[in-house]
């Protein structure tokens, strides 16, 4: 808006808008709420009409199919990662249990050797 026309713009009367009843009602009551857009639409159903060509629909269907393929691939990758993590947990538990068994056997062998040494020392004295 040009600032030089500002006084004339403010002083000018609003345009004659008797043709549109919503606009004239709004001028009378600025707090008037417009009706929902569904009542203003020309389509009587609650669903919007499809305004797409057959080519656009085919492209959309292909896009959805591609998205489904990508999603399925992501599911497979996630399942493989979960399986590997579960196997790693099982392997850690097996390694820990094996380590405990090995340490107990080694401790038992050391204890038996100490007992033999003590028994031999007592036999000499």
pLDDT digits over 1-22, tens only? Answer: 455 554 444 444 555 545 555 5
Quick one: pLDDT at residue 34? 54
Residue 111 lies in a domain: yes
Residue 73 lies in a domain: yes
Q: What's the angle, vertex CA 61, arms to CA 58 and CA 65, rounded to 5?
A: 135
* Mean per-residue pLDDT, 113-122: 92
Residue 81 lies in a domain: yes
In this predicted structure, the answer to whether residue 81 has a pLDDT above a threshold of 60 is yes
Q: What pTM did the predictor assign?
A: 0.43
* The total number of structural domains that make up the chain: 1
Note down the domain range covering 90: 54-124
* Mean per-residue pLDDT, 91-109: 96
46 in Cβ contact with 38 (< 8 Å): yes
Which residue is listed with tokens 């203003």?
40
Residue 58 lies in a domain: yes
Quick one: pLDDT at residue 61? 94
Higher pLDDT residue, 121 or 67? 67
Residue 79 lies in a domain: yes
The number of residues making up the chain comes to 125
Quick one: pLDDT at residue 52? 78
Instruction: Give dist(CA 95, CA 8) in Å, integer.
Output: 90
In this predicted structure, the answer to whether residue 48 has a pLDDT above a threshold of 90 is no
- CA atoms in the 13 A half-sphere facing the CB of 76: 6
What's the pLDDT band for 78 if we cut at 50, 70, 90?
very high
Quick one: pLDDT at residue 1? 47
Higher pLDDT residue, 28 or 116? 116
Instruction: Give dist(CA 108, CA 103) in Å, integer.
Output: 8
């Amino acid at each position: 808006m040009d600032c030089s026309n500002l006084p004339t713009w403010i002083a000018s009367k609003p345009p004659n808008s008797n043709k549109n009843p919503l606009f004239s009602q709004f001028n009378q009551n600025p707090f008037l709420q417009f009706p929902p857009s569904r009542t203003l639409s020309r389509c009587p159903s609650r669903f919007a009409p499809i305004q797409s060509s057959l080519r656009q629909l085919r492209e959309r269907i292909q896009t959805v199919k591609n998205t489904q393929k990508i999603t399925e691939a992501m599911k497979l990758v996630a399942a493989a990662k979960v399986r590997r993590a579960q196997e790693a947990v099982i392997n850690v538990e097996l390694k820990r249990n094996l380590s405990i068994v090995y340490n107990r056997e080694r401790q038992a062998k050391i204890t038996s050797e100490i007992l033999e040494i003590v028994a031999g020392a007592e036999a000499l004295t």
